[in-house]
């Protein structure tokens, strides 16, 4: 699995959650996690979480680190959301290694009780995708800045590469486990 670090800021407007965005921009033909920094302003037409859409929630932030994950091995939404949770845990672990203690609730990270992330997962007929974003700075919500993380780009690269390594590790573990029998 490939971890790509964007060399320029990208605004997350929701179009990046579509299948094959990473191929279109980076020509990557592997499963991938693309990491970039930039503002967030999701237009209603790109809202995948119907809860947000129905509540007409504004999904925006002036500065975030973003992760766009795409897997082509399965289009199971259950697997997409389980991978999303794992990505969220990995972000929490990378923060903890920087002495920032985030609380995770489902796919959300909280810093000092303030929600600091947004995320969604879903699938098309060809791939599953995850978007996960953490506020770098934000007045209304929690942010890395408030939490004392001053190297968001480094953190971003760390989370992305850990997710890719975790995936590769899972792929190896899958290939040494015997099938199970039934209890009797």
Q: Which residues bind a copy of itself (CB under 8 A)?
A: 15-21, 23-24, 28-31, 47-51, 54, 72-79, 81-83, 85-86, 89-90, 92-93, 96, 101, 104, 106-107, 120-127, 129, 166, 169-184
∠ CA 8-13-14, rounded to 5°: 115
Among candidate residues 173, 171, 184, the one with its CA nearest the CA of residue 74: 171
Judged by DSSP in three states, 51 sits in helix
**Nearest distance from C-beta of residue 8 to a copy of itself, angstroms:** 18
* 51 burial via Cβ count (<10 Å: 0-12, 13-18, 19+): exposed
Name which of 11 and 153 has its Cβ closer to a copy of itself.
11
Judged by DSSP in three states, 14 sits in coil
Instruction: Give the length of the chain.
Output: 184
Name which of 16 and 135 has its Cβ closer to a copy of itself.
16
**Nearest distance from C-beta of residue 178 to a copy of itself, angstroms:** 4
Name which of 75 and 137 has its Cβ closer to a copy of itself.
75
Name which of 82 and 153 has its Cβ closer to a copy of itself.
82
Give the up-direction half-sphere exposure of residue 132: CA atoms within 13 A in the CB hemisphere: 27
**Nearest distance from C-beta of residue 46 to a copy of itself, angstroms:** 9
**Nearest distance from C-beta of residue 121 to a copy of itself, angstroms:** 7
């Amino acid at each position: 699995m490939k971890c790509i670090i964007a060399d320029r800021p990208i605004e997350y407007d929701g179009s990046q959650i579509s299948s094959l965005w990473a191929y279109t921009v980076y020509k990557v033909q592997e499963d991938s996690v693309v990491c970039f920094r930039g503002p967030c302003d999701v237009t209603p037409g790109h809202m995948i979480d119907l809860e947000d859409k129905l509540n007409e929630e504004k999904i925006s932030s002036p500065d975030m680190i973003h992760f766009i994950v795409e897997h082509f091995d399965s289009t199971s939404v259950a697997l997409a959301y389980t991978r999303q949770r794992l990505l969220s845990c990995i972000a929490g672990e990378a923060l903890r290694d920087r002495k920032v203690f985030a609380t995770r609730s489902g796919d959300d990270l909280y810093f000092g009780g303030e929600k600091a992330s947004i995320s969604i997962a879903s699938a098309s007929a060809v791939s599953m995708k995850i978007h996960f974003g953490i506020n770098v700075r934000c007045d209304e919500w929690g942010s890395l800045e408030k939490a004392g993380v001053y190297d968001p780009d480094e953190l971003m690269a760390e989370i992305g590469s850990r997710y890719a390594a975790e995936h590769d590790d899972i792929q190896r573990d899958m290939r040494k486990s015997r099938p199970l029998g039934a209890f009797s």
